[in-house]
Structure 1
């Protein structure tokens, strides 16, 4: 069986955060039409698949998929299970906004098969949450986490943000320590990025928001690595830390170039070497499916050079490149062609390398993206 992953984009939020560039709208007016169209897309996509495809992960992202009722999640999972084949140990994740959930909701979605939740706590500091335009408080974040535990979830991830204007390293340390005290199986830490065409970008350009400098941002990232790894979490990707056995299987499939199918407005797919993406509009999405048409906005076939570059980039983000495997797959021997560069990196303490495998050090993780640019 050929293993794959499934992503479902839920494009609704109660309030869109001013830094976010993921596609979403604030009105739930078209929710029912969207769900009907989504089920139609599931059935259409099924016609493209062969019987040897086995999905091993399902991920509900957004937007705010925790705005779905348990009954709506159950109906979607029912449509999926009748259309696709899933592994017995399928990982089913749903993203959660702490301001939208209760113990009853967690209990209900767990009973219907969801076995992993990713809670967007972002910070345990109320002033920073207000600056981020989040709808929840730090207390709501803790409550959501405890409710997930109370419902019986044994695989909980939380998202945290750093590099925020006015955020001190002491505030960041308090947030990290609080997270460790709670003890989730997985923690993702993200530096604030000014994404194009967001309200945050407009405020930065207007001089109304002053970003932290690179040194302060790097110090916060270094602190996260040190504090989390010393607390029993393994860093398995630039932004992701997990207790042993609790890495995100869904994200790992993305990073390792396994095929994935994306459903919903703006969702991306990678299938048989082709990357495609859906229209970034709920109305266009619904209209296409009402006409029994795929809601695809575009597609591209990745050239071999692009696949190689992505393999290097994604490998370094995970802290490790098997250079021997890359040479076998693409005919490019980094160990030989980049020998001087790799020796320099090793001397500077960025990597360990035995000539076959390149492994980032803690210092190397800090500049992984730059190392990737130099390597390709």
Structure 2
């Protein structure tokens, strides 16, 4: 059985934050037609790719999927389970934002089959939240995490953003302290990044906002790694930290070059060495599904060279390059060619070569992009 992940993009949102570049729409129009389209898309791909395949994760992202009624999400889960073989212990995650779910609704999500929740907190500082144009405050953020725990979720993840304009090291560390005091198992910590087309990008171009430099960003990042490691959250990917046994199954499917379906607007799939992506526009997505049963906007066949590059990139960004697995898949020529460079990086304490693997150190993670540019 091919272990496969399934991502479902729910585009509906109640507010567009200044830094967000994910496809989302601030309207409730077409919620029901979208559900019918998801059903048809599930039927289409299950008829082609369900044989000898087992889903190990289902992930609802967005947008803000928790804005949907619990029966809406439950119906999609049932459709997936009806059409695919789903592992009994499959991780089923829903993203939510503080201020969009009550304790009662969280309990109903739990009853519907959701067993992991990812909460987009971003900051515990009210001034930072105001800058990010989040709809919640510090108090609501704390309340949402505690409500999730009280609803029965034992696997709770939160998102945080560092290197905000004028953010001091002290203020960032206060965010981390507040985070680890909560009943969470997983933290995703991202540096604030400018994305084209976002409101934040325009604010920077217009001179209304000034971002802090790369050296300061790296300093905050290394502070994050060191602090969370001391508190029992080990790093298993560039931006992700976890308590033992709570690595995100869905994200690991991406980072370990596993196969995955992407359903819904703008979602990407990777099956049988082919990658394809859906139309972003909700109306276009719905019309294409109605006509064809799928809404593929484009696709590519992964060449042998591209496969090696992607495999190495994802491995070094996460749990490391397993040398035996790599050799079985690609042979040893590439490793022999890069051996001297890896040894140089090891001397600089940017990576460790141990137990048949090559893994970046915390310092190496901080310059991961530069390392990858050199070797790929």
Write the distance in 2 (CA, Å) between the matches of 1:334 and 1:176.
40
**Residues 1:355 and 1:187: Cα distance change in structure 2 (over 3 Å):** closer
Partners in 1 of 2:346 and 2:250 — Cα distance? Answer: 32
Q: Aligned residue for 2:360?
A: 360
TM-score when normalising by structure 1 = 0.97
1-structure distance, mates of 2:214, 2:158: 24
Shift of 1:326: 2.1
Partner-residue secondary structure (3-state), 1:338: helix
Mean alpha-carbon deviation: is it higher for 99-108 or for 36-45? 36-45
**Preserved CA contact (<8 Å) 1:92 1:113:** yes
- Alignment-derived partner of residue 186 in structure 1: 186
The offset of 1:290, in angstroms, is: 2.1
**Residues 274 and 295 of structure 1: CA distance in aligned 2, closer, same or farther (over 3 Å):** same
Q: How do residues 181-330 of structure 1 correspond to structure 2 at under 5 angstroms?
A: 181-330=181-330
Q: Deviations over 1:86-142 (max 9, x none)?
A: 001011000011120010011001011100000001100011011111111111111
The TM-score, its normalising length taken from structure 2, stands at: 0.97
CA distance in structure 1 between the aligned counterparts of 2:331 and 2:373, rounded to whole angstroms: 19
Q: What secondary structure sits across from 1:343 in the alignment? A: helix
Other structure's SS at 1:159 match = strand
Shift of 1:332: 4.6
Shift, 1:343, TM fit = 2.1
C-alpha displacement at 1:333, in angstroms? 3.3
Kept after mapping to 2: 8 A contact 1:43/1:83: yes
CA contact (8 A) 2:273 2:301 kept: yes
Q: Please identify, of 304-313 and 32-41, the stretch whose mean Cα deviation from structure 2 is larger.
A: 32-41
- Note closer, same or farther for the CA distance 1:284–1:103 as it changes in structure 2 (3 Å cut): same
Q: Return the offset for 1:215.
A: 1.4
1:319 shift after superposition: 4.4
What does residue 49 of structure 2 align with?
49
Q: Which runs of 4+ in 1 moved over 6 A?
A: none
The 1:349/1:133 distance shift into structure 2, 3 A limit, reads: same
> 2:96, 2:180 → 1: CA distance?
19
> By how many angstroms is 1:327 displaced?
3.1
C-alpha contact (below 8 Å) 2:235/2:241 kept by paired residues: yes
* Aligned residues of 2:110 and 2:153 also touching (Cα < 8 A): yes
CA contact (8 A) 2:255 2:315 kept: yes
Per the TM alignment, residue 324 of structure 1 is displaced from its structure 2 partner at its CA by 3.9
Structure 2 residue matching 1:299: 3-state secondary structure: strand
The answer to whether the Cα contact below 8 Å between 2:120 and 2:160 also exists between their aligned partners in 1 is yes
Cα shift at 1:355 = 9.1
Q: Does the residue aligned with 1:245 lie in a helix, a strand or coil? A: coil
Distance 1:304 1:355 in 2: 27
The aligned counterpart of 1:119 is 119
- Residues 212-261 of structure 1 show CA distances to partners (whole Å, capped at 9, x for unaligned) of 11111111111110111100111000100010000000000011111100
Q: Which runs of 5+ in 1 are unaligned?
A: none
Query: Partners in 2 of 1:79 and 1:310 — Cα distance?
Result: 32
Q: CA deviation at 1:346?
A: 1.5
